[in-house]
Structure 1
Amino acid sequence: MKEARSTDGGDMARRITQRRSELGFSRAEVAERAGMDPGYVEYLEEHPASLSRESLYRLSQALRTSPDHLLGADTETPPGSSATAVPEPENRALTAEECLALVGPGGVGRAAFTETAGTAPVVLPVNYVLDGGAVVFRTAADGIIARYAPGPMSFQVDRLDETMSEGWSVLFTGRSRVIGDAAELAVLREHRALRPWAGGDRETWIRLEPERITGRRVGGRTAPAEDGSPGDGPVSRH
């Protein structure tokens, strides 16, 4: 059996673990879906390994993603550029509560603001956490965000699963400010682990208090069967 190619695009063990976490599956559930032993799934998440093409395919199907994603071969591909087997994805608006639940775990989002009226917006990726319904992130003291705050700001977070034509996007709109209160900073440092995505000296903390929270979830809708009968229906999970 030929082995699946390896790439320099990422750590497959980390990608398997991350994807399983996103789906909320246990190792046993993944093993059952992939027809593998749970101990082998555990091994794959903790050690470098070479899978046969067949095993890689079964694992990617169990994790509802693509072999290329698990291999890290799609890291240079813009999100949404790949064709999928779901031609007409459905979408719906999210409530503010649903939006907060989705972005609650934290991660990487994009801060957006306009420095001067009539100019193009500045959009920058930052690693964030959610604190009491507000977005909190760190930046450089002499950076463009710190120089801009306080002021109106938007913050967008999304997650896409191209293989299943699923995903969601959440947008916060509100006002940003530099956190200058020592007590507030002490609480954040103690209870909100926050590592800057871009690294470096980023000890200025920014808080975005949302005035409006909106979002949408996109879910795949299967295509009709060749005999004209309906497909399996929506595959999105609300």
Structure 2
Amino acid sequence: MSETTPESGDLGPRVAFHRERLGLTREELDKRTGIPPGSVDYIEENPVGVTEGALSHLADALETTRGDLIAGDVPQPPGHDRPASQELDPAECMHLIAPGGTGRIAFADVPGPTVLPVDYMVHDGAVVFRTQAGGPMDQDLRDGLQDADITIGFEVDQIDEAEQEGWSVLIQGPVHPVTEEELPAVTGPGVDFRAGDERELYVRIAAQRITGHRIIGS
């Protein structure tokens, strides 16, 4: 007789999560797996163990691993507690992004809304990033009206999908090229931008609106 996996109340919900992720009905998963009709229905509704062979078939059919089905860290299926979202104040947002790294800028370009990844640092309360000279952002700044502000959005986040935790910060405000007086502070020793040397345009965002959220796993 085939060995069975230890009985676990988690197996059914994990099977349901992956099945719904793939858009399958229980009957369709029965057929894809090759196990007797009604088996998926029973597994999802009852805390039971299954044979090692059935577990392998389920994992293959659900495009996941045996470990995920019996002990893996996967998000809770619909109906279970979901992560909570906590609003962050501006000071917390700036503290989170202070180390610098990679974020995304969003602005209105001629072809339409544009989102670009950028390396950034925080200097004197402003977000400073560098982008490609002659690129879309550079062109918009050069074509802008005299003394008119170009407002953009800047977003950076850090997400741990396995733990369903993380945070996201959004900064909105006018953008201007870094002045010659400011340039030494953002290009001197100890300043580490990760992008390649072709990104020679340094730009800063004066934060007018700072919002953020922290995701707390269930």
TM-score, structure 1 as length reference: 0.53
C-alpha deviations, 1:107-149, integer Å up to 9, x for none? 1000100024xx6310000110011221101112211111122
Please point out which of 99, 117, 133 is paired with 1:141.
133
C-alpha deviations, 1:52-86, integer Å up to 9, x for none? xxxxxxxxxxxxxxxxxxxxxxxxxxxxxx94247
Aligned partner of 2:188: which letter?
E
Query: If you compute each CA radius of gyration, which structure gives the higher value, 1 or 2?
Result: 2
Contact 2:109 2:136 in 1 (8 A): no
Q: Which moved more, 1:153-162 or 1:82-91?
A: 82-91
Aligned partner of 1:173: which letter?
Q
Please point out which of 85, 96, 114 is paired with 1:91.
85
CA distance in 2, matches of 1:113, 1:186: 27
Spell out the pairing of 1:183-194 with structure 2 (5 A cutoff). 183-190=181-188, 193-194=191-192
Where 1:183 maps in the other structure, the secondary structure is coil
CA distance in 1, matches of 2:190, 2:203: 13
Contact 1:111 1:125 in 2 (8 A): yes
CA distance in 2, matches of 1:166, 1:189: 33
Answer yes or no: is 1:120 the counterpart of 2:112. Answer: yes
Answer yes or no: is 1:213 the counterpart of 2:204. Answer: no
Aligned partner of 2:105: which letter?
A
Aligned partner of 2:181: which letter?
A
Sort the Cα spacing of 1:191 and 1:93 in 2 relative to 1 into closer, same or farther, 3 A: farther
Contact 1:157 1:170 in 2 (8 A): yes
Please point out which of 95, 102, 109 is paired with 1:108.
102
CA distance in 1, matches of 2:124, 2:189: 12
CA distance in 2, matches of 1:184, 1:87: 48
Spell out the pairing of 1:1-238 with structure 2 (5 A cutoff). 83-85=74-76, 87-116=81-110, 120-149=112-141, 151-179=150-178, 181-190=179-188, 193-197=191-195, 199-221=196-218
Give percent identity, aligned residues only: 38
Where 1:210 maps in the other structure, the secondary structure is coil
Structure 2, unpaired ranges of 5+: 1-72, 142-148
For residue 196 of structure 1, report the CA deviation from its aligned partner. 4.3
CA distance in 1, matches of 2:189, 2:168: 26
Contact 1:156 1:171 in 2 (8 A): yes
For residue 163 of structure 1, report the CA deviation from its aligned partner. 1.1
Sort the Cα spacing of 1:114 and 1:167 in 2 relative to 1 into closer, same or farther, 3 A: same
Contact 1:127 1:194 in 2 (8 A): no
Where 1:101 maps in the other structure, the secondary structure is helix
TM-score, structure 2 as length reference: 0.58
Number of residue equivalences: 136
Contact 2:173 2:207 in 1 (8 A): yes
Aligned partner of 1:146: which letter?
D
CA distance in 1, matches of 2:154, 2:138: 15
Sort the Cα spacing of 1:156 and 1:192 in 2 relative to 1 into closer, same or farther, 3 A: farther
CA distance in 2, matches of 1:145, 1:196: 19
Sort the Cα spacing of 1:192 and 1:99 in 2 relative to 1 into closer, same or farther, 3 A: farther
